[in-house]
Structure 1
């Protein structure tokens, strides 16, 4: 009998993978259907928002509005929504000249004008002012102040000085903050570099030898220190209105949620968890995961999120094949330096002494590679991949040959077509 073949996202196309050894179950529950008319869905959401007056009632004629938009590493569907969003604001008396788009880069690289146009659409990019957040421009950052854990964090003054901030993004599992979207567009999205570093440092347990905080995990909000900090920071931004999407396979919009930045986000997290949690009976020795194609597999930093999801379905010491083009390289120039530490313990000590976000990402990659055999099929140089502890494979057939040698040809495994989109959960542990 011939081996089964699956087509998995890889960059801007798909990679056909012949499952040469093993018996595989695909972990991809039926997602919500894509919206036929995202513009209509947005109009409805803006007119009947969650725990908030309608958007049109949140502004006065002539108000200054900042729209926070994710950079190109996130697929949010914002291009399809921007014309309607601007129309609603215009009808409420806020002309294009009073609107500014602020791209929430965090500490990511600056974007080009062409990338701005691709995210917003050329017509919208020509209509409204837009700029990248610069985490290193201290003159543009203001401390949140007040009481509480977020008081010392510094955000872009563009979200503090205007009359209304429309916070956009896409909901999804996040390997540290529990969920992406919502409040994360503000912290770390438009925070100063030192604030971004301080925010991510809370992902570590207080004990230098313990590794990650137990609640800093995908799908977890209760007790999650990053979720708590981002929520506290969002509460310090004077006037906000949330517009978040739930994206479905194919890069299409499955739902639009709008309203109070906290209540609407919580509603969205509940909906996302219900739709994209994948119950499994047990972890298996072999997992094949696609990072989800562009932009989710644009670099190693984004790919790590899919590896984290796949690890939840992999038995200890198992074998994982990761498909991620990584056309933009590692994604963080400092990332590889952290692999000069001889082991996890030394890596953790260095992180506690001088924390850095690339060091945190490198730690996650190191831990996955130490707990299992992680094979990466990408366009990255093989020697670079090997430095991370992962095993480069130019041909996926080489992975299945290794599986057959270790487990035989009847081993059971899983396939995750879009790793970062889903969260496998062992039913007995739920």
Structure 2
């Protein structure tokens, strides 16, 4: 039996590894860090990469802004933020400190979510502001990105005497990796800037893939945005499947992030095993909350799928679809090809919300049949979006075998967003 994360539990796949069945799991599943989470973070702050210590950088600064990820990201801010505050107060006990919550284009975090994320003790020490990407009056224009798009960033960050960011690094399905520069774009950028950065031409780039930053046009614009906004210091952690810190980097926004990404690559990169049937997940709750997010797990399957393979995506989707825009961008077209043609004909400045996710799903559907094992309430929605639905994993496997044969090769990826699936040459 192979256990696949599903919501807060597991589904059991009645297969055993071996023969024509292969399982791709990240090396980090057996990694044991040398120290407790707090110790790892402290060590990184005491030994910053290509940067003076934060305690030295804050000297003479009257207003310090810390960019922090929002409620949708499992960053252990109850550990990281208190240690950041400790460093700042060591060097400048009277500095005004504001936490700017990087929502990107997500909804604002609620007071309850902020308390859960930071803890009351932190909230009593700082001012907290939630980024609102649609509020133009809260943005400052910083020029044009290398790609030509306008860079609008939250003015709180731009007006700070020192801009710091905390976050985490994991594989990202079109930016290469999360963390670092992503705190600024999309984190605290205007919706106009985010939409331009996520345009169809960039998403279509062969370099806009998991684990790739070199020549990645999305990453390149993000780097420029972070530098232009004045991001000076980062604290980024790496977490395991239990959301526990196993590594931490701090210091220069580019160099520290690069070191963190190298660690993540070493802990998550696996070689593709191209197969006729590929089964993937989103790693269970909270990342399999909706169908929109589940596209991420599908890209791991795509990277290990033989031509015209069947992909089985296992995702609970307790919150349903994840966005009406996402649904209509595929369901309103007669085929994935028709939808793709529309995406590619859309100018960068005309990008609409969720277009990138729908484009990536269309890309997968143009090459593979997708069967989704999910909440029965989504059966009709899944079919309208040009995928198949199965109520159980067993039925999905039976249906896939009816298409590809009883002797079809099978690759199973228990955590599709926790691995970088590399083909020959190191590219997905």
In the superposition, the TM-score normalised over structure 2's length comes to 0.90
Written as runs of structure 1 = structure 2, the 5 A alignment for 1:3-152 is 5-19=1-15, 23-31=20-28, 32-34=31-33, 36-60=35-59, 63-94=62-93, 98-145=96-143, 148-149=146-147, 152=150
Select 2:262's aligned residue among 246, 270, 278: 270
How far apart in 2 are the matches of 1:123 and 1:53? 28
In structure 2, the partner of 1:252 is 244
Aligned residues: 418
8 Å Cα contact 1:285/1:318 also seen in 2: yes
8 Å Cα contact 1:61/1:94 also seen in 2: no
How far apart in 2 are the matches of 1:355 and 1:143? 19
Aligned to 1:305, what secondary structure does the other structure show? helix
In structure 1, the partner of 2:178 is 180
How far apart in 1 are the matches of 2:224 and 2:291? 30
How far apart in 2 are the matches of 1:238 and 1:404? 54
In structure 2, the partner of 1:334 is 325
Task: Confirm or deny that 1:220 pairs with 2:219.
Answer: no
Aligned to 1:204, what secondary structure does the other structure show? helix
8 Å Cα contact 1:83/1:124 also seen in 2: yes
152 and 76 in structure 1: CA distance in 2 versus 1, 3 angstrom threshold: same
How far apart in 1 are the matches of 2:425 and 2:341? 34
Aligned to 2:313, what secondary structure does the other structure show? strand
Q: Which runs of 5+ in 1 are unaligned?
A: 206-210
Select 2:230's aligned residue among 227, 238, 247: 238
Moved segments of 4+, more than 4 Å: 20-23, 146-151
In structure 2, the partner of 1:294 is 285
How far apart in 2 are the matches of 1:116 and 1:164? 23
How far apart are residue 126 of structure 1 and its match? 4.2
8 Å Cα contact 1:69/1:167 also seen in 2: yes
How far apart in 2 are the matches of 1:408 and 1:251? 39
In the superposition, the TM-score normalised over structure 1's length comes to 0.90
How far apart are residue 156 of structure 1 and its match? 0.6
155 and 410 in structure 1: CA distance in 2 versus 1, 3 angstrom threshold: same
Query: What is the aligned-residue RMSD (CA, Å)?
Result: 2.4
Select 1:382's aligned residue among 362, 371, 379: 379
Written as runs of structure 1 = structure 2, the 5 A alignment for 1:182-201 is 182-201=180-199
In structure 1, the partner of 2:414 is 417
Q: Which runs of 5+ in 2 are unaligned?
A: none
How far apart in 2 are the matches of 1:147 and 1:314? 35
How far apart in 1 are the matches of 2:85 and 2:120? 14
